[in-house]
A and B are shown apart, each in its own frame.
Chain A
């Protein structure tokens, strides 16, 4: 089997395995409209030093 074929099969198999693994753990499945504002994080360092909401 030629070098090109081996590289392609290795690349494609790795890509599928890796994508299936992260997909199994839910990656890409989150709703796109979830609002993760600064309230969800550290509180931020915005003017006033407080949370903006």
Chain B
């Protein structure tokens, strides 16, 4: 049964006020905005009951307001205010029932100064549903997917209707409670609402406030949004997402190259030579023939045992000019304690340098200092020397990788913080 389609206005059968008929044929209930009487639109607008309206909610939209959203002309035909109370706090929001002669019904919701648009989802598979029982028994936040879009559980709310006026496709009753479970994706929300035995799914998207107000002929600055809405998209620089991903990609490339160069093997130019400490000072020749500058390494290893040994090193280039002085300590300790056996230190040491010209380099090992630890310590008696060249360094590539990662973090920080604030609406607890 439906209402006469040609009807344009009626007089309230309770108070006599003139009421415009704005909705379509599926309207069943008309609540008089003047006296709050609920009229039966399917039975000659017979007065059914009084809707005990509290104060009219603060909204810039009024019955009859019309504007274009998503290229469709919509008219506000009904206004509902909801209140949710939990843990001593309460939240209120206003639903505006929208009607389009070509697209049917939708909801324009105002909450904390944010506007969202909701349309009922029809024709979905029967198991597309997140119910309160699933939420209560789940170990992880429930997820569903619709048309390739993944939605993750956000919150459960039970709200009551505290105000109603205008036309509706069902009969709102004062204090009627609705429990809804919400899940969000990157850009939308699915709302699974159950009232009694009736189930409905709505898909909700965020609306740009000033644009929407202007579309309805209202002051674009009439609303002052507070906080971040759960479906509010991040409004950053248009290139932010690309630059974040590109920076991460380049960071990964730099890291891979850095590791590759760090483990570049080079080639041996001095096989291990053993030098007794009693023979010091002693020169060791290192033949480096690479025409191009490539990293070279000198490796030392000593037979320290619960002891340490420090060796002075000087390296002369093929022109017998001193290239550098350095020293290396090799120390190695071991023992057992209540936790078992332990070792500390390293019998080996190394140093790296850049040869200046090809030729024979001379490494001079001189004064040695050493000492022992504990009664089992034993002075080292020798050091083994070897050298490699043709190696590479990943040092600057590691720095570059860190730089790109910081770049990505800088670009991604805004989106990350925004998403944290979106998910702050969640009531999920791992407990």
Contacts and interface: CB of A to CB of B under 8 A. Distances in A.
A23 B250 CA distance: 16
A5 B239 contact: yes
Interface residues of A, number: 28
A33 B326 CA distance: 7
Interface in A3-44: 4-5, 8-9, 12-13, 15-16, 19-20, 22-31, 33-37, 39-40
Contacts, number: 99
Given A8-B246, A29-B352, A19 B295 contact: no
Interface in B247-269: 247, 250, 253-254, 257-258, 261, 264
B391 to A, nearest CB: 7
A24 B394 CA distance: 8
Interface residues of B, number: 36
B295 A12 contact: no
A30 B254 contact: no
B240 to A, nearest CB: 10
A26 B393 contact: yes
Contacts of A34: 324-326, 351, 353
18 contacts: A4-B239, A5-B242, A13-B250, A16-B400, A19-B254, A19-B396, A23-B395, A23-B397, A24-B392, A25-B293, A26-B391, A27-B393, A28-B394, A30-B354, A31-B353, A33-B326, A39-B322, A39-B325
Interface of A: 2, 4-5, 8-9, 12-13, 15-16, 19-20, 22-31, 33-37, 39-40
